[in-house]
Structure 1
């Protein structure tokens, strides 16, 4: 009897040990989902496993690029609209983008001089032939853009970087004397470089630091529609090498310079010129890109090529939006349907039509950001943070969609599914995070993962299909069975162990 008790006690200990071991191997996670079925960054705690599970294995020791940040843009249109809202709604939007409970944007963009998302054409240097820029002034920004930036700074605990881009030099500096198209006249190269330096100083006087510049928004032009100025890769590189870089250095401005700043299909040629040799590369801190070349293709080959050409420099997505569309007011379903399209559906050349099928806005954002992160992009910036029900204001009537839409007449705010989609990345992948390796057995799921500075790991998935999927998530010797809904984006946070 004593022997039986001994065996029973041993069996109990073994069972208890196995139970504890099993518990130790359970991966602890927090999970948030946005879905066509109605979730909006909703915390998920229960899963209903599906058959034919896949597997995702994280490989934290395999590291890639360091993240600079995620965010959106301070345009005059956005800032003007905020000025038309009640203080409570204005504060709500600022908190939603920059507060601790919100998207915690960490990388932003704004425009130097006017752009299409301005109320009118304007320049900080309006006086003709003012080569020394004695009349330079940023007063146009003091009613809207600058107050919005300051309010964002006040609520942002970690702060954020600002990337500034000119759409054009003032017409008097250009060969066609127009806001649209044309080129910078060589006699004004020094003046235009001085313009950048004065802009940094003027914003610093307002208490705002500029992190970086792109040399020119869309140097290939925009079809002669709104503010633009053209460069070839050689012209831009010569301007940076001989004028802009030396001037910023001479004036003591430690500010980043990003070249190109347009669509990815031409990326290879531009980086070949920009990073041809040490002299051409010296003042470039990286490359900026846009996504308008395709509704669905994120051009991984071009991104890989650009990284390999300059592996120690930034590769930043500086602008993206659903363009040539009027947003749907309080219609979440529309953002998950293939009814929204872009300019290319109607206007792209025949040889490029296949890049522009009808494509759901959420799909476009989720696919592009994950695709970028898996191909060396270290920062991703959306375009306007806020637009009205028309998709403006825009002086050219180039209507677009923003993550937050407002009705200023009735003082109403609508957070679209795009807001929550972006928040999956900006809130949970923080600056200085490292993208890490992974193995994914289900090719219908898009997945990326990042190891944050605080030790946590964020895994972001996108299930574009119309079927719920289950998978086992593995990290070292731990695992967790997880389910993702159909048409859903999901962030899994693994706390520091």
Structure 2
């Protein structure tokens, strides 16, 4: 067997270093902590990584001089030197990370004749076009509604929950179909939609509640309208926290007609880290695809924090080990407040732009995502990894070129000496306290 070359990069809290090459020594010493990677056992195929191009994110980018804006987009979408993002998420009309509530139709327009998406040409779509140019390919896009038109809802407003009135299910599906057609005319093929962002939550911002039974009904209405209008798009349910993902998916998918239509189940990370909930869905419904559709650090900007990066890596690795196929971060960029957000729901992002100083700050989360996205490419297959004798989070993938990337997250206060066993070879790697390491065997 040809000997493989092994290399590694590491980020360490103690000296705030990121993506630094570290030495890997071949070893015959199998004592102590070890991870064994077995490429003969493989699991799901990886779709890719990406983030949301919200109005707030793209508006904030536009506050920068052109060359600084370009460098941020390169940092995300360049397949060689950036994170290599290939996925994207956009909101259908306004969400909380918009400058204000807005809609694409005028009030009470049941004909949809006033449908107008010109607002998205200000910030969102020009940014998406440039991102795709940098990526060298169209991004695989997910579109999600935060709320139907206010006049279609029981509470008469976009914000504060409410429900879609039953008599408007078909019209709302036609609205989404119109959005998909308009996007296609602008050059964007939307690969998938979610029925509703966070359908179990009444939020102070754009929101709308659906029970599982109502979501199953909406799935069927969407499918009927899409077929009538010749639209081919994947439908994802739930798009909410993983703690209730099995309960929701199980109820929706027990409806046989809805089950035949639903392509996948989306999860967010805000309530729990019960990663096994994804496996419960996959075990009962093996044909459904598991996608992480949103996660961020709540409560405003935390410049320089290390735990934020650890939260990203821990959640991505945990979900990957439970059949996740794609990861979508929330806002790719926010301003110095963690906005703009039209109800003050400020959050953190991997890149924060100080709009006064015209400076971009790269948070630990940016680099932690990179420890995964730069080495685990679309088309990679997760392979078996077994950990002994250490408190680490570990995942391994084999890329289509045969290279194997193993990601090792050490969130503890203690360093670990680890042996990696792969293809009858062993290599020793030092994992400092609060570090993340990616080992690539080629």
What is the deviation of 1:301?
A: 3.0
**2:174 matched to 1:227?**
no
Q: Structure 1 residues 422 and 184, CA, compared in 2 at 3 Å: closer, same or farther?
A: same
Matches for 1:341-380 after TM superposition, within 5 Å: 360-380=307-327
In structure 2, the gaps of 5 or more residues are none
Aligned to 2:42, which of 44, 56, 63? 63
Partner residue, 2:389: 442
**2:13 matched to 1:36?**
yes
Partner residue, 1:206: 186
Name the structure where helix makes up a greater proportion of residues.
1
In structure 1, the gaps of 5 or more residues are 1-23, 337-359
Question: What CA distance in whole angstroms lies between the structure 2 residues aligned with 1:177 and 1:121?
Answer: 13
What is the deviation of 1:61?
A: 1.2
Partner residue, 1:83: 62
Aligned to 1:465, which of 403, 412, 420? 412
- Counterpart of 1:84 in 2: which secondary structure? coil
- Counterpart of 2:384 in 1: which secondary structure? strand
What is the deviation of 1:60?
A: 0.6
Deviations 1:73-124 (A, max 9, x none): 1010010011110011000000000012100012221111111111010011
| Alpha carbons 1:25, 1:478 under 8 Å: kept | no
> TM (normalized to structure 2)?
0.95
Aligned to 1:183, which of 163, 183, 193? 163
Partner residue, 2:229: 251
What is the deviation of 1:317?
A: 1.0
Aligned to 1:306, which of 281, 284, 309? 281
Question: What CA distance in whole angstroms lies between the structure 1 residues aligned with 2:205 and 2:107?
Answer: 21
Aligned to 2:94, which of 100, 114, 124? 114
What is the deviation of 1:53?
A: 3.3
| Alpha carbons 1:221, 1:229 under 8 Å: kept | yes
What is the deviation of 1:390?
A: 0.8
What is the deviation of 1:46?
A: 5.8
What is the deviation of 1:278?
A: 2.9
Question: What CA distance in whole angstroms lies between the structure 1 residues aligned with 2:380 and 2:24?
Answer: 28
What is the deviation of 1:56?
A: 1.3
- Counterpart of 1:201 in 2: which secondary structure? helix
Question: What CA distance in whole angstroms lies between the structure 1 residues aligned with 2:437 and 2:137?
Answer: 24
| Alpha carbons 1:26, 1:479 under 8 Å: kept | no
Matches for 1:133-172 after TM superposition, within 5 Å: 133-172=112-151
| Alpha carbons 1:108, 1:160 under 8 Å: kept | yes
| Alpha carbons 1:53, 1:469 under 8 Å: kept | no
| Alpha carbons 1:111, 1:167 under 8 Å: kept | yes
| Alpha carbons 1:51, 1:470 under 8 Å: kept | no
Name the structure where strand makes up a greater proportion of residues.
2
Question: What CA distance in whole angstroms lies between the structure 2 residues aligned with 1:275 and 1:446?
Answer: 31
What is the deviation of 1:319?
A: 0.5
> TM (normalized to structure 1)?
0.85
Deviations 1:326-348 (A, max 9, x none): 333xxx2xx22xxxxxxxxxxxx
Matched length: 438
| Alpha carbons 2:33, 2:390 under 8 Å: kept | no
Q: Structure 1 residues 437 and 51, CA, compared in 2 at 3 Å: closer, same or farther?
A: closer
**2:291 matched to 1:316?**
yes
Question: What CA distance in whole angstroms lies between the structure 1 residues aligned with 2:31 and 2:338?
Answer: 43
Question: What CA distance in whole angstroms lies between the structure 2 residues aligned with 1:68 and 1:84?
Answer: 32
Question: What CA distance in whole angstroms lies between the structure 2 residues aligned with 1:442 and 1:435?
Answer: 22
- Counterpart of 1:493 in 2: which secondary structure? strand
What is the deviation of 1:405?
A: 0.5
Question: What CA distance in whole angstroms lies between the structure 2 residues aligned with 1:30 and 1:159?
Answer: 31
Deviations 1:203-251 (A, max 9, x none): 11111111110110011124x311101100000101111x101212222
Answer with 1 or 2: which has the greater Rg: 1
**2:370 matched to 1:430?**
no
